[in-house]
């Protein structure tokens, strides 16, 4: 017999009445009714009521029992007179014969642990994360995460993928974010970098003759936190396939991802094949490359309609427009608040609007600045009907797209337009291979290791900004949950692709020497993707904040307030790795 328990706290039922049992767990609640004391005893599996009818026998121990201490009890299972249908163990209770205090707890807790409406300041919760994780909702999120990880592994194993671990101490690689650097003690002045992704290693595995690889890979990027991005580190289901095309990669994701959602959620999961949306179209119709397809709103372009306008706010601008229906009951205040949101949250110069009346006339807002001809074109293009409202965004092209995307999302939320209880997926395809940097130079847009569409010929003969890559993202309900590409596997294409982005062949040899060399030894065509584990768990759990599905997350400032990281280290530790600090000249 186990010293502490024979059953867990969610296990006993009416058929156990009469048994002598042991339970162990945390004291969730104590109710002193004078002649009797009731204790709700909790563990990971549930809650069981304990009844103490002989208070005198337990007097010394009861004085040291308070909420959240751990105890072990021995007693007889009895049928409850006042059954609790809210919990599985609600038909029984344990009449205590013996109690052992296993772990004392302070009388005053930093916050109430099992309060359902958790309004505690986040940094305080993270400082006492070991208590916060006792909260049923948060605790269940971490258990859900474990089940999701198992599902992902089961799905990949069933498809014949081989799980292989790649190094954590790696080389620095320009992959879009700052590296976390690790100084070497054995090699003065040299540094490892924590991998932003296992990109080069998984490509090398394909060159090594492995057919299909995967791992639940930790990735490290020194970038600013967001609600949907964990600062510093995150996990992804990284997979790669030899002799594979974009279609092969999609086929895997369209089996693994929906199955994972179905097995771990009660919501409707959209079936494969997923809709495919070119990047350019996504930006035009949704104002983002991660559109939430639960939102029916589509953005229209009215730039041509207003090309000869005398309305100064629209002159020479890109004009994006959004039409919403059934707006007859929306007061002026609604439009003013939307304008405030666009200006304060999205950086817009303003948000113009009009309404459509029963005679197809435009009223209110900027209607007096719109000509009759423009009115007819607008109503036709926007498919506007009686009681519609049309919102206008005027700005330079990229800003107008982005702001319109933000307005679309906000209108979808404020008007409650999003389809409920469903996961909707889409592939965003045909990403540009290159983009203009802020300095006006050509830079990689997405992933430097991708195969350009058209291969070497497109690199030699096309404007770099007109070249598409075999790159793709998988989005779900407004979040990017996977990214991938068909990889470049040709040394000549690699040299030219990096040359266009300003890298010499010598730089390639220095930065990517292993891949550069390996490409000379029979490289198979290969492709892959990397679904993000944290975001998948966040979506399935129904959370808006990614920190709610990570056991020990960093806070909004990328600090671990529980463990006190990052922290200062001793001079001796710095000497070991040949580092001298120069904080006085820190220009960050």
pLDDT tens by residue, 44-96: 999 999 999 887 788 888 888 999 999 999 999 999 999 999 999 999 999 99
Using one digit for the tens of pLDDT, what is the confidence trace for 82-94? 999 999 999 999 9
Map out the domains of the chain as residue ranges.
14-103, 118-277+524-588, 295-418
What's the pLDDT score for residue 231? 85
Using one digit for the tens of pLDDT, what is the confidence trace for 317-351? 999 999 999 998 899 999 999 999 999 999 999 99
The CA-based angle 116-537-89, given to 5 degrees, is 45
CA distance 583 to 140: 43
CA distance 71 to 96: 12
- Cα of 220 vs its chain's centroid, Å: 15
Closest C-alpha to 14, from 73, 88, 86: 88
Question: Cis ω on the peptide bond leading into residue 539 (within 30° of 0)?
Answer: no
Sign of the alpha-carbon dihedral angle for 159, 164, 167, 173: negative
Q: Which fold has domain 14-103?
A: OB fold (Dihydrolipoamide Acetyltransferase, E2P) (2.40.50)
Q: Is the pLDDT assigned to residue 175 strictly greater than 80?
A: no
Q: How confident is the model at residue 586 (pLDDT cuts 50, 70, 90)?
A: low
571, 577, 582, 587: CA torsion to nearest 10: -130
- Cα of 394 vs its chain's centroid, Å: 31
Q: How confident is the model at residue 173 (pLDDT cuts 50, 70, 90)?
A: confident
What's the pLDDT score for residue 434? 96
Using one digit for the tens of pLDDT, what is the confidence trace for 249-277? 999 999 999 999 999 999 999 999 999 99
Q: How confident is the model at residue 1 (pLDDT cuts 50, 70, 90)?
A: low
Q: What is the mean pLDDT of residues 373-382?
A: 94
Using one digit for the tens of pLDDT, what is the confidence trace for 501-560? 999 999 999 888 899 999 999 999 999 999 999 999 999 999 999 999 999 999 999 999
CA distance 489 to 449: 9
CA distance 408 to 300: 11
Q: What is the mean pLDDT of residues 416-437?
A: 96
DSSP codes of every residue in 121-148: -HHHHHHTHHHHTTSHHHHHHHHHHHHH
- Which class for 442: exposed (0-12), middle (13-18), buried (19 or more C-beta within 10 A)? middle
CA distance 104 to 515: 57
What's the pLDDT score for residue 478? 97
Using one digit for the tens of pLDDT, what is the confidence trace for 89-139? 999 999 999 999 999 999 999 999 987 766 899 999 999 999 999 999 999
Question: Cis ω on the peptide bond leading into residue 273 (within 30° of 0)?
Answer: yes
Helix 332-346 vs helix 397-414: crossing angle, to nearest 10: 130
Q: What is the mean pLDDT of residues 367-371?
A: 93
> Same topology for domains 14-103 and 295-418, yes or no?
no
CB 544 within 8 A of CB 227: yes
Write the Ramachandran bin of 429: left for phi over 0, alpha for psi from -120 to 50, otherwise beta. Answer: beta
CA distance 161 to 362: 59
Using one digit for the tens of pLDDT, what is the confidence trace for 9-38? 999 999 999 999 999 999 999 999 888 999
Q: How confident is the model at residue 450 (pLDDT cuts 50, 70, 90)?
A: very high
Q: What is the β-pairing status of strands 362-363 and 352-356? A: antiparallel
What's the pLDDT score for residue 174? 63
Class of domain 118-277+524-588: alpha beta
Task: Supply the mean pLDDT for the chain.
Answer: 94
Q: What is the mean pLDDT of residues 175-192?
A: 89
Percent of the chain with pLDDT over 70: 98
CA distance 569 to 238: 34
Using one digit for the tens of pLDDT, what is the confidence trace for 213-228? 999 999 999 988 777 8
Class of domain 295-418: alpha beta
pTM: 0.93
Give Cα separations from 525 to 117, 180, 298, 487 (angstroms): 52, 31, 38, 7
Please report where in the chains the tokens 């800003």 appear, as a residue: 399
Q: What is the mean pLDDT of residues 554-577?
A: 93
CA distance 446 to 124: 37
The CA-based angle 253-259-264, given to 5 degrees, is 130
CB 505 within 8 A of CB 469: no
CA distance 408 to 128: 39
CA distance 241 to 486: 10
CB 269 within 8 A of CB 423: yes
Q: What is the β-pairing status of strands 389-395 and 352-356? A: antiparallel
């Amino acid at each position: 017999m186990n010293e502490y328990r024979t059953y867990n706290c969610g296990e006993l039922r009416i058929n156990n009445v009469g048994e002598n049992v042991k339970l162990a767990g945390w004291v969730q609640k104590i109710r002193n009714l004078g002649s009797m004391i009731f204790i709700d005893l909790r563990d990971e599996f549930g809650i069981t009521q304990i009844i103490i009818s002989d208070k005198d026998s337990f007097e010394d121990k009861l004085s040291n029992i308070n909420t959240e201490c751990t105890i072990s009890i021995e007693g007889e299972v009895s049928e409850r007179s006042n059954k609790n249908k809210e919990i599985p163990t609600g038909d029984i209770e344990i009449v205590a014969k013996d109690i052992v205090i296993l772990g004392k707890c302070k009388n005053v807790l930093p916050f109430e642990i099992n309060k359902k409406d958790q309004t505690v300041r986040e940094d305080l919760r993270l400082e006492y994360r070991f208590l916060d994780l006792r909260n049923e909702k948060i605790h269940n999120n971490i258990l859900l995460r474990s089940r999701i990880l198992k599902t992902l592994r089961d799905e990949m194993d069933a498809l014949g993928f081989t799980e292989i671990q790649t190094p954590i101490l790696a080389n620095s690689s320009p992959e879009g974010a700052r590296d976390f650097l690790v100084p070497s003690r054995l090699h003065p002045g040299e540094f490892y970098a924590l991998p932003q992704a296992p990109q080069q290693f998984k490509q090398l595995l394909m060159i090594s003759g492995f057919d299909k690889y995967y791992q639940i890979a930790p990735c490290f990027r020194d970038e600013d936190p967001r609600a949907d991005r964990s600062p510093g580190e995150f996990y992804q289901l990284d997979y790669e396939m030899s002799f594979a095309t974009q279609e092969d990669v999609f086929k895997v994701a369209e089996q693994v991802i929906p199955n994972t959602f179905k097995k771990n959620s009660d919501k409707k999961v959209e079936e494969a094949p997923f809709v495919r949306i070119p990047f350019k179209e996504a930006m035009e119709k949704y104002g983002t490359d991660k559109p939430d397809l639960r939102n029916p709103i589509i953005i229209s372009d009215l730039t041509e309609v207003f090309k000869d306008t005398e309305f100064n706010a629209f002159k020479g601008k890109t004009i994006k427009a959004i039409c919403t229906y059934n707006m007859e009951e929306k007061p002026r205040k609604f439009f003013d608040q939307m304008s405030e949101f666009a200006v304060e949250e999205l950086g817009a110069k303003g948000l113009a609007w009009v309404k459509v009346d029963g005679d197809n006339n435009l009223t209110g807002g900027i209607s007096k600045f719109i000509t009759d001809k423009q009115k007819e074109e607008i109503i036709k293009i926007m498919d506007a009907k009686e009681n519609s409202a049309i919102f206008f965004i005027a700005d330079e092209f990229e800003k107008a797209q982005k702001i319109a995307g933000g307005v679309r999302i906000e209108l979808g939320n404020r008007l409650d337009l999003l389809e409920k209880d469903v996961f909707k997926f889409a592939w965003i395809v045909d990403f540009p291979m290159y983009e203009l940097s802020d300095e006006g130079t050509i830079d990689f847009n997405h992933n430097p290791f991708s195969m350009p569409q058209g291969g070497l010929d497109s690199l030699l003969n096309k404007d770099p900004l007109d070249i598409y890559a075999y790159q793709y993202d998988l989005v779900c309900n407004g979040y990017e949950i996977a990214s991938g590409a068909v990889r470049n596997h040709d040394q000549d294409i690699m040299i030219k692709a990096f040359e266009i982005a300003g890298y010499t062949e010598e730089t390639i040899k220095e930065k990517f020497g292993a891949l550069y060399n390996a490409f000379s030894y029979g490289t198979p065509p290969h492709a892959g993707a990397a679904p993000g584990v944290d975001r998948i768990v966040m979506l399935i759990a129904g959370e808006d904040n990614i920190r709610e599905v990570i056991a020990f997350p960093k806070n909004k400032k990328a600090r671990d307030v529980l463990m006190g990281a990052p922290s200062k280290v001793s001079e001796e530790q710095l000497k070991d790795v040949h580092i001298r600090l120069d904080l006085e000249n820190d220009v960050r």
